[in-house]
Structure 1
Amino acid sequence: MSQDAPSSTDPLVQLADAVLHVGRKLRAYPLQDERVAPLTALECLVLLHIDAHPGVAPSALASTLSLTSSNASTALRGLVKKGQVERRPDPSDRRAVCLHLTGEAERSVATVRGMYRDLLSAIGLPAQDVLATVRTLHAIDAAMNDSAEQ
């Protein structure tokens, strides 16, 4: 290890490690509910992104979520087959498509969000800590998006 290599006590290394561990546990959390079509963790991520960005193009979705085009295509195919996502012609370019949630998907998203809320609320973190963490993670996400686009 070189002299300049950060140690495991570096706060930024600890942050990255914690995000990776929590992300893995969230992905492994069973998001099964009789009111929701069976969804993989990747499908949930894609649904939540389309909900936040209705009309997103498949390529933009893949780029923003750092997915390979084949992984994005597989997730989207599964979501279309499950009646969760619709591909609609892009009004500005009829050759392109935009992604939209179906009514069933909107109910699924609400259920999944409720499951995440229930899971995390059981931990009992103070609201101000949660909000500070969310702000920090949004800032990191935006900065990483900006650096990837350059």
Structure 2
Amino acid sequence: MTTVTSDDVLARLADVVLSVARELDPTGPRALDVVPLTGTEVMVMRWVDTNPGTTPSATAEATALRRSNLSVALGSLVAKGMVERRAHPDDARTAQLFPTARAAESVALLRSRWAATLRSALDGQGIDTAAVTSAVGLLERIEDGLRPSRAG
């Protein structure tokens, strides 16, 4: 049975999400040993990393970026060695985007750091795996609901 959630509770959830995000910021001062990226580059890199072989058009749509802004971010990611553009095997006019080995290393380092940070924050209280899994599911639903047109 679903109950109505108050605006106050939803606003508190958003506030906590923002606070946690600041602590985990991949562009923040704790990310000294990863490839430095802008917020836009992080958003594009996240999409390319989870959707290897995606096209610039699909990436623009999924990230809600204008093509000109996406083009600048992609150019920078290519220059930083994070994204590789390849011609589509069936249509050389279409570019496909792939994360590079350097991107994989950087993403793995960030994910490891994030896991350690969250483990440290939760260890004193014990980690409830079911609660963490439930929280991930809720946040993924929110993410999907914020951009219902986003393709997966």
Indicate if the aligned counterparts of 1:32 and 1:39 stay in contact, CA closer than 8 A: no
Q: Aligned-pair distance for 1:115? A: 1.8
In the alignment, residue 144 of structure 1 is paired with which amino acid?
L
Stretch of structure 1 that moved more, 18-27 or 120-129: 18-27
1:21 Cα offset (Å): 3.6
Residues in 2 aligned to 1:42 and 1:123: alpha-carbon distance in whole angstroms: 28
User: Does the 8 A contact of 1:89 with 1:97 survive in 2?
Assistant: yes
Aligned with 1:136 (options 135, 138, 144): 138
What are the residue-to-residue correspondences of 1:1-150 with 2, within 5 Å? 9=8, 11-27=9-25, 29-30=28-29, 31-33=31-33, 36-124=34-122, 125-146=127-148
C-alpha deviation, 1:45, in angstroms: 3.5
Deviation at 1:29, TM superposition (A): 3.1
The one-letter code matched in structure 2 to 1:16 is A
Secondary structure at the counterpart of residue 97 of structure 1: strand
Q: Give CA deviations for 1:52-107 in whole Å, capped at 9, x if unaligned.
A: 11011122223222333333222211110011111111234321211101122221
Q: Which runs of 5+ in 1 are unaligned?
A: 1-6
- When normalised by structure 2's length, the TM-score is 0.74
Return the alpha-carbon distance in structure 2 between the equivalents of residues 114 and 79 of structure 1.
22
Unaligned runs of 5+ in 2: 1-5
**d(CA) in 1 for partners of 2:134, 2:101:** 33
Task: Tell me the C-alpha RMSD between the 2 structures.
Answer: 2.7
Give the Cα–Cα distance (whole angstroms) in 1 for the partners of residues 97 and 46 of structure 2. 12
Instruction: Note the C-alpha offset of 1:147.
Output: 5.5
Deviation at residue 25 of structure 1 after TM alignment: 4.2
Aligned residues: 141
Q: Which moved more, 1:114-123 or 1:129-138?
A: 114-123
Task: Supply the distance in 2 between the matched residues of 1:12 and 1:81 (Cα, whole angstroms).
Answer: 40
User: In 2 relative to 1, CA 42–116 (structure 1 residues): closer, same or farther, beyond 3 Å?
Assistant: farther
Report the Cα distance in structure 2 between the residues aligned to 1:102 and 1:147, rounded to whole angstroms. 27
The structure-2 alpha-carbon separation of the partners of 1:22 and 1:63, relative to structure 1 and needing over 3 Å to count, comes to farther
